[in-house]
Structure 1
Amino acid sequence: MDMDRSQLADFLRRSRERLRPEEVGLTAGPRRRTPGLRREEVVQLAGMSADYYIRLEQGRGPQPSTQMLASLSRALRLTEDERDHLYLLAGHRPPAGKPSGDHLKPGLLHLLDQLKDTPAQIVNDLGDLLAQNAMANALFDSVCVLKEGERNVVWRWFTVPAVRAPYPAEEHDHWSRVHVADLRAAATRRGGDAASTALIERLLAASEEFAALWELHEVAVRRTSRMRVVHPAIGPIDLDCEALLTPTEDQRLLIFTPPPGTDRSHLELLRVIGTERFGPSDPSVAATG
């Protein structure tokens, strides 16, 4: 299957120009002259090289990988039909079937875009982080890096020690069990499909802790929880995490809010940090992921 560079370039450019900054959680600003998103905004939303993306838009780039196409699809808010068209233009077959929950649900994406004053994320049932707003980036600092291959929060929890740093040490065992029980529920619902099986096998090989917890056969979908996050600039923040699941339970919107009756000033500080660090000039939110 051949890559159509000129058509791919045109499709990427038109998809970028039709998106308004507000649709991806950005502020347009008074001096914006570019219709739609800037190239650098797409680059950061997709987590890719600026030079590489510019070459794609100019019809000069090498064939993108399927992983890169998935990131671009999320960054540009493509529908499933548009995503399949993108794959074909790039010389790849579109993803077979759609049971994995990787393509963002429009309803969840719309809700995420409206949440400006509270941290929020979209994850699929296997724990792949598909999108998060600027306040979630600020809350978890650099831990939730949205680069291809690093989006699965379960994998990172059990294999990247730094991921646990924001959580009090005495709560690590609790969150380990939550992750494992939630993953088992997803694997059961999927009927042991290739994606869930591959993730579980990788975790079993990489983490003795995961393997021991997997043997307990605990099963529980994560729906609501109370948590404490120790932010390096703000200190301890107590939050309620509410999970809004899609009807098929393959994706969920996680919304982090202060418990009733508690001080909301920490969230205001987070909002300032998120705006300064991840605002229009540095929109490292996945739109994706």
Structure 2
Amino acid sequence: MYPGSALGEFLRSRRARLRPEDVGLSPGRRHRRVSGLRREELAPLAGVSVGYYTRLEQGQGPNVSAEVLDAIARVLRLDDDERDHLHRLARAARARERVRPERLRPGIKLMVDSFTEVPAMAVGRRGDVLAWNRLAHALLAPHWDFDGAEKPNFVRVDFLETGFARELYVDWEQKARDDIAYLEGSLSRFPGDEGLAALVEELSALSPEFRAMRAEHPVANCASISRGYRHPEVGVMTLTSELLRTPDDEGQGVAVFQAEPGSPSSERLRRLAGLVAATAR
């Protein structure tokens, strides 16, 4: 997708969820042809002309200022994550450069290997597992070969191996929306990544759930997420994943999964670690 189109689609999705009454306007006619706020209603509130805002939704406003974006975000009632996403999309619409191929740094691999009591993995901007420890393998994709050259892409697993994913995640739908938010964040930061665009096209073609959820344009900060996991040998665990971004910020991060100390989930995670250690001997 052309970055300008992504910007326009996001703006339209957020405009559609507002009513005139939400921004202090009269609802006017009972039967409106357009669901949500009209462009001619939004533009004056943001301090721009209707023509300028229309061009912005059409991806033809490459030099839009941060002040105008903030004004539009205010009118659309965007939260902090959505406002940041709007700014990234606007920058992406100006970008044309290709991105470098994604390669795992040896130091990141060593960091992942250093975690022995909690699941940890290195994740790329497309959702590829670049490295993982045995606990992450046992928790998230035990049906994959831990030592295999090919490792899973967690977005593909969640949307194309739905039988497994729906059993693993207590709230699969929220996990799926978080996956899309992760990809959308990467698309806004790396618009020249052809592999990322190809992944979105593949999932759009193969997964009706992906198509439907992506049409909602979910936005979320994926840095810290608490989620329920079902494991066939130890039961249900609530774990919080912390995504630690690499200093060069090329879209890679290290995800570490932890349980609340002293909780039943902590005891179950400890049992899983024992099972993994026994199997590895």
1:192 to partner: Cα distance? 4.0
Distance in 2 between residues matched to 1:98 and 1:105, nearest whole Å: 16
Higher helix proportion: 2
1: CA distance, partners of 2:101 / 2:152:
14
1:255 aligns to what SS in structure 2? strand
Distance 1:150 1:206, change over 3 A: farther
Deviation at 1:271, TM superposition (A): 1.4
Q: Name the % identity.
A: 29
Higher relative contact order (CA 8 A, sep 6+): 1
Q: Distance in 1 between matches of 2:151 and 2:205?
A: 17
What is the SS of the residue equivalent to 1:242?
Answer: strand
The alignment of Structure 1 onto Structure 2 pairs a total of residues equal to 180
The alignment partner of 2:197 has SS state of: helix
Cα distance change of structure 1 residues 178 and 141 upon mapping to structure 2, 3 Å threshold? closer
Partners of 1:109 and 1:251 in 2: how far apart? 12
Cα gap change, 1:122 to 1:246, in 2 (>3 Å): same
Query: In 2, are the aligned partners of 1:224 and 1:242 still within 8 Å (CA)?
Result: yes
Counterpart residue number, 1:176: 176
TM-score scaled by length of structure 1 = 0.57
Partner of 1:7: none
Query: How many Å apart are 1:106 and its aligned residue?
Result: 2.9
The root-mean-square deviation of aligned C-alpha atoms, in Å, is 2.1
Structure 2 gaps of 5+ residues are 1-97
Within 5 Å, give how 1:237-276 maps onto structure 2. 237-247=237-247, 248-263=249-264, 264-276=266-278
In structure 2, the residue matched to 1:185 is 185
Q: Given residue 275 of structure 2, which amino acid in structure 1 is its aligned partner? A: I
Q: Partner amino acid for 1:99? A: R
Q: How does 1:87-236 map to 2 (within 5 A)?
A: 99-101=100-102, 103-140=103-140, 142-145=142-145, 147=148, 151-161=152-162, 162-168=164-170, 171-236=171-236
- The whole-number CA distance in structure 1 between the counterparts of 2:154 and 2:140 is 12
Secondary structure in 2 aligned to 1:118? coil
8 Å CA contact retained: 1:224, 1:240: yes
Distance 1:144 1:241 in 2: 21
> Could you give the per-residue CA deviations for residues 230-255 of structure 1, whole angstroms, max 9, x where no partner exists?
11011111111111011314111111
Separation (CA, whole Å) in 1 of partners of 2:231 and 2:158 = 17
Return the alpha-carbon distance in structure 2 between the equivalents of residues 189 and 245 of structure 1: 14
Is contact 1:126-1:183 (8 Å) kept? yes
> Would the alpha carbon gap of residues 144 and 189 (structure 1) be closer, same or farther in structure 2, given more than 3 Å must change?
farther
CA distance in 1, matches of 2:252, 2:208: 28
- Alpha-carbon offset, residue 110 of structure 1: 2.1
Distance 1:167 1:218, change over 3 A: closer
Secondary structure of the 2:168 match is: coil
For 1:20-35, what aligned pairs fall within 5 Å after superposition?
none
CA apart distance, 1:276: 2.4
Change (3 A) 1:227 1:137: same
| Cα separation, 2, equivalents of 1:98 and 1:194 | 8
Shift of 1:195: 0.6
Residue identity matched to 2:268: H
Q: Is the 8 A contact 1:144 1:151 kept in 2?
A: yes
Quick one: structure 1 residues 237 and 144, their matched pair in 2 at CA, closer, same or farther if it must change by over 3 Å? farther
Q: 1:184, 1:219 within 8 Å by CA — same for their partners in 2? A: yes
In 2, the alpha carbon distance for the partners of 1:186 and 1:122 equals: 15
Larger Rg: 2
Q: Which stretch has the larger CA shift, 208-217 or 120-129?
A: 208-217
Contact 1:138 1:273 in 2 (8 A): no
Separation in structure 2 between the aligned mates of residue 195 and residue 188 of structure 1, nearest angstrom: 14
| CA deviation after TM superposition for structure 1 residue 114, in Å | 1.2
